[in-house]
Amino acid sequence: MPKQNLSESLKKVQEIINWFDNQEEVDVEKGLEKIKEGAALIKISRARLKEVENEFEVVKKELEKE
């Protein structure tokens, strides 16, 4: 799976929510499509938001080489 940008995923989820909020004419088929997409995005986002240790790298030596 290509690496998903978390901000973009969250933005898309927000868009889907807005879509649901602004539905005047109900379109269940489209709604189903949207919910599938939303669920996938949420799954991806949750995976990325799982507590992951930060990577620490000290770069002083590289700086001194330059």
Partner 1 sequence: MIQDASLVTGNLSVSQFLDELNLELSGMAARVQGEVSNVDARERVVYFTLKDKKDESTLNCLIFRNQYEISGVHIAVGDEIIVEGVPEIYKPNGRLSLKVGVIELFGEGALKKAYDALKLKLELEGLFAMERKRILPELPERIALITSEQGAAIGDFTMNLGAQGFHVHFCPTSVEGKRAVLEIISAIRFFNRRFKQYDVLVITRGGGSLESLQAFNNEALAREVAKSKIPTLLGVGHEKDVTLASLVADVMVSTPTATAKTLRYHWDEARQFVEHFRHQLPARFREQFFGVKNELALDGEVLLSHLRTFRELIVTLRQDISGKLVFTQSIVRHQFTGLNEEQKNLRQKFIAMQEKASQKLFHCEERLKQYDPKRVLKLGYGLIRKGEKIIKDVSETAIGDILGIQLSRGKLQARVEKIIP
In the complex, the residues that contact partner 1 under the rule CB under 8 A are 6-7, 10, 13, 16-17, 20-21, 23, 26, 28, 31-32, 34-35, 38-39, 42, 45-46, 48-49, 51-60, 62-63, 66
> How many beta carbons lie within 10 A of that of residue 9, not counting itself?
19
- Alpha-carbon distance of 56 to 64, in angstroms, equals 18
- Alpha-carbon distance of 28 to 33, in angstroms, equals 9
- Choice between 1 and 63, CB closer to partner 1: 63
Find the shortest distance in angstroms from Cβ 35 to partner 1: 4
